[in-house]
Structure 1
Amino acid sequence: MNVLLLVLLAGAVLTLLLTYIGKLLFPKKNGGEETASEPLEECCGAHEVCETDLLNKMSEEIIYYEDEELDAYRNFEENDFNDDQIDEFREILYSLKEKEIEPWLKSLELRHIILPSIIKSEVVFMLVK
């Protein structure tokens, strides 16, 4: 009986020791929370997360959304726009479908066009809905 208890106690101590050493050598990321593995290169397209990841991995190709006139505002600061110029951005923004807004923002970024501050607020409101 004593031998059995001694073996169980030794096993428990050995398990605790190995667990402790394992945590020291291989700490988990994100504060100990397990993370999902990264998706494969291809995405099924059925999840909004995958679509967002694909947008981020999109090539540096600039896609125009019938907004070529906005190229005139390249390198403007967000507070440099007058009301008519802001209305140009607004007209294009509200003509886009919801799924086109993020790619449009990426296109503007690649073209070095900064949104007017009021339009940024409207975009955030539209994306949060």
Structure 2
Amino acid sequence: MEVLLLALVGIAGIAFLTTYFGQRWKSKKDGDEESETSEEPLEECCGAHEICETDLINKMSEEILYYEDQELDAYRNFEENDFNDDQIDEFREVLYSLKQNEMEGWLRSLELRKIELPSIIKSEVVFMLVNE
């Protein structure tokens, strides 16, 4: 019985050590690969990936682009629940006139102009982005 118990403890110890050193070796190997790939800066985004497009928008200058929505500047510094139905319809009109690839740029433009979307429009934007 004692021999069986010692054998089980020995096997568990070997399994633990194998796992421990395997993980350390793997993380060290992955760290080397990451440093090699991160040294190469990307020259230009191909535009075929959603991540690249998002990064390009985030890297945009602080230049404000208008999407025929200058009238929305009147809602600067409003809270998301401060809008009445007519004001919400103004946002909705602009939102549904946008092309699919203009959505993120428009949201960035509103952010730079300190215009917060009405809560109902936020829900619609999320729904539209998820359905893309």
* 1:128 CA displacement: 0.1
Which whole-Å CA distance do the structure 1 matches of 2:84 and 2:125 have between them?
A: 18
Alignment of 1:83 with 2:85, yes or no, is yes
Structure 1 length normalisation: TM-score?
A: 0.71
Q: Greater shift after overlay, 52-61 or 83-92?
A: 52-61
Summarize the alignment of residues 53-72 of structure 1 with structure 2, pairs less than 5 Å apart: 53-72=55-74
Structure 1 runs, 4 residues or longer, greater than 3 Å off: 18-24, 26-29
* Residue in 1 that maps onto 2:3: none
Which whole-Å CA distance do the structure 1 matches of 2:95 and 2:71 have between them?
A: 13
The amino acid that maps onto 1:60 is E
Local SS of the residue matching 2:108: helix
Unaligned runs of 5+ in 1: 1-15
Distance change in 2, residues 1:124/1:22 (3 Å): same
Which whole-Å CA distance do the structure 2 matches of 1:86 and 1:20 have between them?
A: 54
Higher helix residue share: 2
* Residue in 2 that maps onto 1:115: 117
Unaligned runs of 5+ in 2: 1-17
Summarize the alignment of residues 1-129 of structure 1 with structure 2, pairs less than 5 Å apart: 37=37, 40-129=42-131
Local SS of the residue matching 1:105: helix
